[in-house]
Structure 1
Amino acid sequence: MDDTELPSSSDQKMDDASTVIPAAAEAIHTSSDDSGESDSDSEDEAESNHQIETLESELSANPYNYDAYVQYIKLLRKTANLEKLRQAREAMSAIFPLSPSMWLEWARDEASLASSDNVPEIVKLYERGLCDYQSVSLWCDYLNFLLEFDPSVHGYTSDGISKMRSLFERAIPAAGFHVTEGSRIWEGYREFEQGILATIDNADVEERSKQIQRIRSIFHRHLSVPLENLSATLIAYKAWELEQGTDLDIGSDDLSKVSPQVAVANKKAQQMYSERAHFEGHISKKDLSVTEKFQQFMNYIKFEQTSGDPTRVQAIYERAVAEYPVSSDLWIDYTCYLDKTLKVGKAITHAYSRATRSCPWTGDLWARYLLALERGSASEKEIYAVFEKSLQCTFSSFEEYLELYLTRVDGLRRRMLSTMMVETLDYSLIRETFQQASDYLTPNMQNTDSLLRLHAYWANLELNLAKDLAGARGVWDSLLKKSGGMLAAWHAYIDMEVHLGHIKEARSLYRRCYTRKFDGTGSEDICRGWLRFEREHGTLEDFDHAVQKVMPRLEELQLIRLQQESTPVKPTAGLKEHNSQKGTREKRKAGPNVNVEEESLAKRQKIKGQKMNEVDAEGKGATVPNKKNAKAETGKAAGSNKEETEEAKPVKPKIYTDECTAFISNLGVKAQEEDIRKFFSDVGGVVSIRVLHDRATGKPRGLAYVDFADDKHLEAAIAKNRKTFLGKKISIARSNPKKGKKDFTRRGNEGSGNSKDTSQISEKAKEALGGETEGEKRGNEVEVRGKNTFAVPRNVKPLGFTTPKPTADETPKSNDEFRNMFLKK
């Protein structure tokens, strides 16, 4: 190859301001007689040094800033700071794969300073560049460098000839199939062999004949590859054959006098080039956007895949990844193709190594890299190094980290069980990997099915591979300690014990969890599961004991369920409720209809001499200025309303009719209003969202109401029932407040009339009032258990139990007597 084959700066998209290092160094140290120019150069140098210091600070704070590295290297080349330039390039290449143009710059800079002593170092540099990307220009530079600076090569020694032939044979499959540029590799190969022919003595007829046949073979191979300008290659070949004494018609395409096989191969190659010419035209257009050009590359790749030639497919993939090195989808597509066609081999693992360097944020590439290493029988040391490196990357989701951990465990398990393994692996490696995964993922994936899957796998291997029952139990206990609200985790633990025949241990687990609060109907499910378990495995005594424990809990859960469907609004102390049927405000009236609880509260506040705190319908406090104003709230005449302050004016509670509302259950505890709104974004029509929280703890209940603008949007929302939302399958149904008691709406507003029903007062409100409600005086028929029963409506009976009403001559029981009666064992 001559110097004209070297790629120009414009071909490699090098910056015009980038100059060769020696020239830049000479320019800096050359003194000028023009003082003005000297001053200008000094200012430019000072500005460049300032920019270099700024970039050094940025890279020190963030060594993964790709663009900062590019600018830093460009400035160091400009200032000819050779030592810093080498350090910067080494630091960047340790983190990122450098582009072909950056490798070409680096190699040329070092080659310009080359001597016979540092040739091996520059050769290593070229080899490193070709490990990142297969570039025709980089290959040509590499081969030309050896021809110029390696004495064994340009001296045509046996070692030099063998070295170059080996390199050319490597370059042909890597770059020689590039449709528009691949001819440069073939021509360079021929020229090298012709140079050898020129050194052979004319008297050595046998050796010259062998060399002529070698050159003819390269021509034949070249003519059979679909490349650009094959007609010019054909003319050059005929001219060469004419020199060797073969009579050929240079003006025709006839090769029959040389070889019919070559003629057929050449004709096929020209046809193949014609089929690819329009693809080459599309990807070489200058006015295409990045997306359009990428799509043209993908079309080209699909076409080559249909041809069935893996070498050509790899060639176009290599061109594509060099053009779009940070496209994770492209790398995934490429490596999948290699997995499918090559199965195993260094070519696959090398491709994965390059892919993970180019797109380290893609967990799927790392996981499949581990699998490729395992298929290639890589050592445990090599696989572990890749695994550890993958964990240092930043992925978009914790699921990707989980997949990496599981892939690592999969590989360890398979190799432990394999009889073909040379290495001996200890189970402690699996246990350590699981423990590391649990420690890292549990805080971020708590109460998720993915975390359950990890621990279930772990417990299974502890039990079956390590034969350690205590270890398996420890895995489940560790999970339940942090995620005890996962019903599926309890079920899985119990199922393991039942499968092993450990009935007592399974029963113990039911006793531990039947009182827990689970999402959706989980609490009822675990209770019924215990009864079913005792029917199948327990004695009559065990069954009776379970019934004694479970039935009260089921009654309590039933009441809570009814309360969730008809939750009363907490009465506002010191405020009058506005009539929902009237459009204008009415003045409050004193009289017999004044709420008993409000009077009691006012009296207690007066006795204690404290200010009364009012709570509006949204739960915000509003303070009444003084006792006089507080008393006026219950005793003023209708005409005194104008004297009230703005702060003491009653706030109208918000009433929800649920006429077009969806009731959602089994929500994840992390679900927020914006998450729900996004989930229904394809449906549209969302008016408002209300996520329910536990009144005692403030934690989410896993329930929500979503109001829609009309029935059409509501029906579309209900159609998403059982869809997965934040990792859980949620239930969506139309809210039906009339399904409960007629006296209550779901939000606790009276079904008819304007007077208040004191049966809506919660336990906390009763404690604040210091007395019994009217419902208690009538005799409650509800058994009160648990911390979540304070807001249960007093007129709802538990299913399956009836309590006779007191007779006329029977003294009604007090609230304490009623409670003591139900708490008797």
Structure 2
Amino acid sequence: MDEAEKSPISTGEEDTEMGGVGVGDGDEGDSKESPKSSSKSDSDSESSDSEDEGEQKQQLQTLESELSTNPSNYDAHVEYIKLLRKSGEIEKLGEARENMNSLFPLSPSMWMEWAKDEASLLGDSGFEAVVKLYERGVSEYLSIPLWCEYLNYVQEHDPKVRECSADGISKARNLFERAVTAAAIHVSQGSEIWDAYTQFEQAILLTIDQSDNQAKEKQIQRIRSIFHRQLSIPLANLKSTLRAYKAWEVEQGNALDAESDSVDGILPHVASAYQKAEEMFNARAHFEEQITRQDISETDKFQQFMSYLEFEKSFGDPARVQILYERAIADFPVSSDLWLDYTRYLDKTLKAGKVVKDVYSRATRNCPWVGQLWVRYLLCLERGRASEKEISAVFDKSIQCTFSTLEEYLDLFLTRVDGLRRRISSDIGDDVLKYPLIRESFQQAADYLSPHMKNTIDLLRLHAYWAHLELKLGNDLVAARGVWESLLKTCSMFEAWQGYIAMEAELGHINEARAIYKRCYSKRFSGTGSEDICHAWLRFEREFGTLEDLDRAVQKVTPRLEELRLFRLKEESKSLTEATDQREQANKKAGREKRKSGPSTNDEQSPAKRQKSSSKNQMNLLEKKKTEGKKSAEANDGEERKVEAQKQVDEQQMKDTDPHKSRAIYTDECTAFVKDEDLHQFFSDVGGVASVRIMHDRVTGKSRGFAYVDFEDDEHLAAAVEKNSQLLFGKSLKIARSNPKSGRKEFTARRGTGGHERARNRGRADGSSASKESSESSNRSRAPQATGGNRVDNFQLKGKNTFAVPRRVRPLGWTANKPETKEEGDEKPKSNDDFRKMLMKS
């Protein structure tokens, strides 16, 4: 391609006509360069040009690679077109523009640039191609400059218009009227269209033969009418338009003051329309000033547009509202909220028509990621009685877009099915629609959505609708059942089975519905679905089945419900246990923090003072609690719990050894150790309760908060232990198996209200007295524990101070059932130091 072809769109410096001559004002000798200097300069220029070309090629290759992998990169398209235009690669440039416009709308400036390039390259022979470019440009965004460029191009390059033939004049007038309809009420720039219109008609007037008075007068009236129309519209420069009109009337021989802004001398109806237009403009001047400001943010400008729109809507003029929406869209082309508001207004006011359809087409091109726009676009096409081919094309395009939620895809599929159903049912339109179209749409939706919407109500709704239409429009029961079966393969929802059963029951297929209940009553559903399906089966049999059917259902459902009940109880117990543990941890943490946050003066006291102060505070606290008659878990520390627990143990031991009190002898073989009241009622569902022994205070007779419950056998005992951590009157019970064979073991329980208790197992298998056990237990509890855990069975301690005998050392006078061998060294009593050394060695 030669340089002549590249020059119209090249931005380089190939054209030497502007730069090489007449640069300096000096003599010829000063302006001349030496051959060497000239050669060096040419070499540097060629080297620079070569480097620029290499860099441009590298950038073009990078952009081509980017666009091949990511065609939706808008900025890459813009940069690619810019570089191609600069390098003069015409063929690639046209292709690049077409590729970009197939994905995105082009800005008005890009359309003007494209049209000018084509006009320069093709000349008058490419007139039709350039006109098509202008038509495509003005259909995407409202742009007064683009319309003016389009009108000027037609006047200059259309042979018929230049020759002022009747066809050419008619063609130009039609184009001007289209421009007036599209943009002439633009408040700030609309006068440019009117001015171009009047200039065109005035030029036509000059071509009319002066002797043809009739044609001349007709043309004058046409120009006057255009002025009158312009003066009745609230435009930014109404006063200058009035002066231009009066000046023109003066040229026609009418006596008017062309320099005055008054309406004196013009026709009354024109003056009245002008004054009304001026009032309308003054009411809008503030909004126009705000939206045309350059010093405000985009957010503020958008809010000003919305306020302006609300103002225009209050006057109820759809044309003015629409033109303002178009102005806002030109400034905010990718605002989905603006497009949604615009299309909603058109649906409400214009309902249907080419205008609304075109707006929806542009909206989906600018914001293809908004599913609601596509849904309303399909409804608009259906409302306008569009063909199936057109609707199908829009639908196919919509599902290729990327939406933010799966619900938007579902809404699209359902909208498509709804439209097909309505048109098939009413036979609207010229197309012959068949039910398989609906089946294909449902299948497409299921294939696409099922992997992503598993076990959701939305997917269930889709399949329920599908099965319903298979019955009503397709008249195919087998296909309807197949829809439900395909859903149940991947869906574990209780509602899905209920929907399937409801369809069969509605059709009167009782046996089929019963068969479905038999398939699903034992399945595990979320929430209460497992219980609900069982109860639903029983209701179904009561309403539709025989007595035998009901009995069989009860026989199957009853154990399942009992299993579910036990499972729920176990889950509730687990959750209550976890909640209790959390509360205990929180209480412990609060207690630690409370102790840590105590007075700091204790740190400065001596150990003796601290011990004295601590003992005094402890005694005061115990005295206070004794007078108040209640305990607080948050205030008790470790020592208080030990004192109280030991006190209760001693009282129980004294009560058990009281010779004046007759009591039954219990072996505790099948006994559960629990802690709360009303135990007969609590264990009524377990059964097998033989007796309940609630521990009472020996002095006051009040319950001590724990009890022993005897059961008939281990089976009932095991069932009772499983009720551990369940609530009784709002309190959590702690239930454990009593194990008397294991010896005397401590058991600590915490009440639901936070109190602390300690109890010991009662009785012995060998029948030894309780007082002796209590004494031994008390001695053992006071004895220090041996290190290392080694057992010592053959040591005998002699002497008087035997109250602190270790558990593994025999007291003085202890004898076994069998005679013992005398060990060496037993004759000589050991001193305390000897005994201490002996224990340390062991």
Taking structure 2 as the reference length, the TM-score comes to 0.66
Q: Does 1:166 align with 2:174?
A: yes
Q: Does 1:129 align with 2:154?
A: no
Q: 1:491 aligns with which of 488, 494, 498?
A: 498
Q: CA deviation at 1:22?
A: 1.4
Q: 1:542 aligns with which of 549, 573, 577?
A: 549
Using a 3 Å threshold, how does the CA distance of structure 1 residues 96 and 781 change in structure 2: closer, same or farther?
A: farther
Identity of aligned residues (%): 59
The equivalent residue for 1:460 is: 468
Does structure 2 conserve the Cα–Cα contact (< 8 Å) formed by 1:780 and 1:794? Answer: no
More deviation, 187-196/281-290: 281-290
SS of the counterpart of 1:116? helix
Q: Does 1:510 align with 2:492?
A: no
Q: CA deviation at 1:111?
A: 2.3
SS of the counterpart of 2:549? helix
Q: How far, CA to CA, are the matches of 2:465 and 2:371 in structure 1?
A: 20
Q: 2:152 aligns with which of 138, 144, 149?
A: 144
Q: Does 1:778 align with 2:714?
A: yes
Q: How does 1:597-636 map to 2 (within 5 A)?
A: none
After superposition, the CA RMSD in angstroms is 3.0
SS of the counterpart of 1:77? helix
The equivalent residue for 1:57 is: 65
Using a 3 Å threshold, how does the CA distance of structure 1 residues 776 and 421 change in structure 2: closer, same or farther?
A: farther
Question: Aligned partner of 2:390: which letter?
Answer: E
Does structure 2 conserve the Cα–Cα contact (< 8 Å) formed by 1:782 and 1:796? Answer: no
The equivalent residue for 1:260 is: 268
Q: How far, CA to CA, are the matches of 2:264 and 2:398 in structure 1?
A: 58
Question: Aligned partner of 1:501: which letter?
Answer: G
Q: CA deviation at 1:45?
A: 2.2
SS of the counterpart of 1:166? helix
Does structure 2 conserve the Cα–Cα contact (< 8 Å) formed by 1:283 and 1:297? Answer: yes
Q: CA deviation at 1:564?
A: 0.7
Using a 3 Å threshold, how does the CA distance of structure 1 residues 116 and 579 change in structure 2: closer, same or farther?
A: closer
The equivalent residue for 2:331 is: 323
Q: CA deviation at 1:568?
A: 9.1
CA displacement, residues 437-490 of structure 1 (integer Å, 9 cap, x when unaligned): 01110110111111111111111111112222222111111111110x111111
Q: How far, CA to CA, are the matches of 1:556 and 1:242 in structure 2?
A: 104
Q: How does 1:418-497 map to 2 (within 5 A)?
A: 418-483=426-491, 485-497=492-504
Q: CA deviation at 1:38?
A: 3.0
Question: Aligned partner of 1:349: which letter?
Answer: K
The equivalent residue for 2:251 is: 243
Question: Aligned partner of 2:198: which letter?
Answer: R
Q: 2:8 aligns with which of 2, 10, 22?
A: 22
Q: CA deviation at 1:134?
A: 1.8
The equivalent residue for 2:198 is: 190
Q: 1:107 aligns with which of 112, 115, 138?
A: 115
Q: How far, CA to CA, are the matches of 2:535 and 2:153 in structure 1?
A: 80
Q: 1:291 aligns with which of 299, 305, 309?
A: 299
Q: How far, CA to CA, are the matches of 1:391 and 1:27 in structure 2?
A: 49
Does structure 2 conserve the Cα–Cα contact (< 8 Å) formed by 1:445 and 1:451? Answer: yes
Q: How far, CA to CA, are the matches of 1:286 and 1:370 in structure 2?
A: 39
Q: CA deviation at 1:112?
A: 2.6
Q: CA deviation at 1:417?
A: 1.4
Q: Does 1:565 align with 2:572?
A: yes
Q: CA deviation at 1:794?
A: 7.7
SS of the counterpart of 1:393? coil
Using a 3 Å threshold, how does the CA distance of structure 1 residues 782 and 559 change in structure 2: closer, same or farther?
A: farther
Does structure 2 conserve the Cα–Cα contact (< 8 Å) formed by 1:781 and 1:795? Answer: no
Q: How does 1:302-451 map to 2 (within 5 A)?
A: 302-451=310-459
Question: Aligned partner of 1:505: which letter?
Answer: E
Q: How far, CA to CA, are the matches of 1:443 and 1:580 in structure 2?
A: 44
Q: 2:538 aligns with which of 531, 534, 537?
A: 531
Q: How far, CA to CA, are the matches of 1:87 and 1:323 in structure 2?
A: 27
Q: How does 1:73-88 map to 2 (within 5 A)?
A: 73-88=81-96
SS of the counterpart of 1:27? coil
Question: Aligned partner of 2:555: which letter?
Answer: Q
Q: How far, CA to CA, are the matches of 1:474 and 1:333 in structure 2?
A: 42
Does structure 2 conserve the Cα–Cα contact (< 8 Å) formed by 1:780 and 1:795? Answer: no
Q: Which structure has more RCO (C-alpha within 8 Å, separation ≥ 6)?
A: 1
Q: CA deviation at 1:779?
A: 2.2
Q: How far, CA to CA, are the matches of 2:85 and 2:16 in structure 1?
A: 17
The equivalent residue for 2:285 is: 277
Q: How far, CA to CA, are the matches of 1:466 and 1:448 in structure 2?
A: 26
Does structure 1 conserve the Cα–Cα contact (< 8 Å) formed by 2:406 and 2:449? Answer: yes
Q: How far, CA to CA, are the matches of 1:542 and 1:357 in structure 2?
A: 61
Q: CA deviation at 1:742?
A: 9.7
Does structure 2 conserve the Cα–Cα contact (< 8 Å) formed by 1:48 and 1:75? Answer: yes
Q: How far, CA to CA, are the matches of 1:173 and 1:200 in structure 2?
A: 28
CA displacement, residues 212-231 of structure 1 (integer Å, 9 cap, x when unaligned): 00000000000001101110
Q: 2:527 aligns with which of 520, 525, 529?
A: 520
SS of the counterpart of 1:112? helix
The equivalent residue for 1:652 is: none
Q: How far, CA to CA, are the matches of 1:112 and 1:776 in structure 2?
A: 109
Taking structure 1 as the reference length, the TM-score comes to 0.67
- Structure with higher Rg: it is 2
Q: How does 1:669-680 map to 2 (within 5 A)?
A: none
Does structure 2 conserve the Cα–Cα contact (< 8 Å) formed by 1:305 and 1:313? Answer: yes
Question: Aligned partner of 2:335: which letter?
Answer: S
Stretches (4+) displaced over 3 A? 28-33, 251-258, 578-583, 737-743, 780-783, 792-797
Q: Does 1:227 align with 2:235?
A: yes
Using a 3 Å threshold, how does the CA distance of structure 1 residues 795 and 23 change in structure 2: closer, same or farther?
A: closer
Q: How far, CA to CA, are the matches of 2:75 and 2:682 in structure 1?
A: 68
Using a 3 Å threshold, how does the CA distance of structure 1 residues 413 and 114 change in structure 2: closer, same or farther?
A: same
Question: Aligned partner of 2:573: which letter?
Answer: S
Does structure 2 conserve the Cα–Cα contact (< 8 Å) formed by 1:254 and 1:263? Answer: no
The equivalent residue for 1:5 is: none
Q: 1:156 aligns with which of 164, 168, 183?
A: 164
Does structure 2 conserve the Cα–Cα contact (< 8 Å) formed by 1:111 and 1:145? Answer: no
Does structure 1 conserve the Cα–Cα contact (< 8 Å) formed by 2:202 and 2:223? Answer: yes
Question: Aligned partner of 2:231: which letter?
Answer: L
Q: How far, CA to CA, are the matches of 1:496 and 1:275 in structure 2?
A: 63
Does structure 2 conserve the Cα–Cα contact (< 8 Å) formed by 1:173 and 1:311? Answer: no
Does structure 1 conserve the Cα–Cα contact (< 8 Å) formed by 2:336 and 2:367? Answer: yes
How many residues align? The count is 582
Using a 3 Å threshold, how does the CA distance of structure 1 residues 394 and 579 change in structure 2: closer, same or farther?
A: closer
Does structure 1 conserve the Cα–Cα contact (< 8 Å) formed by 2:573 and 2:724? Answer: no
Q: How far, CA to CA, are the matches of 1:96 and 1:239 in structure 2?
A: 47
Q: How far, CA to CA, are the matches of 2:144 and 2:256 in structure 1?
A: 32
Q: CA deviation at 1:110?
A: 1.8
Does structure 1 conserve the Cα–Cα contact (< 8 Å) formed by 2:84 and 2:93? Answer: yes
The equivalent residue for 1:761 is: none
CA displacement, residues 415-446 of structure 1 (integer Å, 9 cap, x when unaligned): 11124432210000000000110111011011
Does structure 2 conserve the Cα–Cα contact (< 8 Å) formed by 1:782 and 1:794? Answer: no
CA displacement, residues 134-168 of structure 1 (integer Å, 9 cap, x when unaligned): 21111000111111111111211111111110111
Q: Which runs of 5+ in 1 are unaligned?
A: 1-19, 571-577, 584-658, 660-736, 744-774, 784-791, 798-825
Q: Which runs of 5+ in 2 are unaligned?
A: 1-5, 21-37, 578-583, 590-632, 634-675, 684-710, 727-842
Does structure 2 conserve the Cα–Cα contact (< 8 Å) formed by 1:21 and 1:77? Answer: no
Q: CA deviation at 1:44?
A: 2.1
SS of the counterpart of 2:266? coil
CA displacement, residues 299-327 of structure 1 (integer Å, 9 cap, x when unaligned): 11111111111111111111111111111
CA displacement, residues 663-719 of structure 1 (integer Å, 9 cap, x when unaligned): xxxxxxxxxxxxxxxxxxxxxxxxxxxxxxxxxxxxxxxxxxxxxxxxxxxxxxxxx
Q: CA deviation at 1:513?
A: 0.8
Using a 3 Å threshold, how does the CA distance of structure 1 residues 539 and 781 change in structure 2: closer, same or farther?
A: farther
Q: CA deviation at 1:257?
A: 3.7
